[in-house]
Amino acid sequence: MDDWNRCVEFHGHGCPGLAIGYRAALLATKELGIGRSEDEEIVCVSENTACGVDAIQVMLACTAGKGNLVFRSVGKHAYSFFDRRNSKSVRIVAKTFDRSGSTREEIMKRILSAPDSEIFFVKSPGYDMPDEAEILESVVCENCGESASEDMVRIRKGRRLCLDCTDSQR
């Protein structure tokens, strides 16, 4: 199965947003000389939470669970890629183009087949590489008894409470 079909299978369907993420991942691979991330050596900062993120997960193995997929959700079809091994980075921003009179299928095919320069701006990120994922301790909430990450626990009246219980204690 080719990479595009693996992305479609993971996402559930082909669409223009998935095609943008797929092409952005391919372009990042070319620009930075990278492949799939085994751990956190490759980081993607996605400026959206749209369909394209799924293709980036499939293509580059940048995932929220590993901590190398970071969301900076500002609603742009833009992705910054960082290579921790050599500090190289690139920001890939989808260009807008006339979609009038085109079906979703036609738009998707155009995104998949057009030259990179027609689909993307290639820039430098305007922010630093994110820190490596921090491994935090779990703390048991003294109200509900459920574990929560230590950065999500608050002290209220001397008791350690998860955010759900903190909100319900107000």
* HSE, side-chain direction, 13 A CA sphere, residue 131: 3
3-class secondary structure, 52:
helix
3-class secondary structure, 79:
strand
The per-residue pLDDT for 132 is: 85
The per-residue pLDDT for 170 is: 55
Cβ pair 109, 62 in contact under 8 A: no
- 51: amino acid identity, one letter: C
The per-residue pLDDT for 20 is: 98
Could you read off the pLDDT of 7-25 as tens digits, one per residue?
A: 999 999 999 999 999 999 9
The per-residue pLDDT for 153 is: 95
The per-residue pLDDT for 131 is: 85
The per-residue pLDDT for 145 is: 94
> Which domains does the chain carry?
3-123 (3.30.1330.130), 138-168 (3.30.60)
Cβ pair 94, 77 in contact under 8 A: yes
Segments of the chain scoring below 70 in pLDDT: 169-170
The per-residue pLDDT for 55 is: 98
Find the length of the chain.
Answer: 170
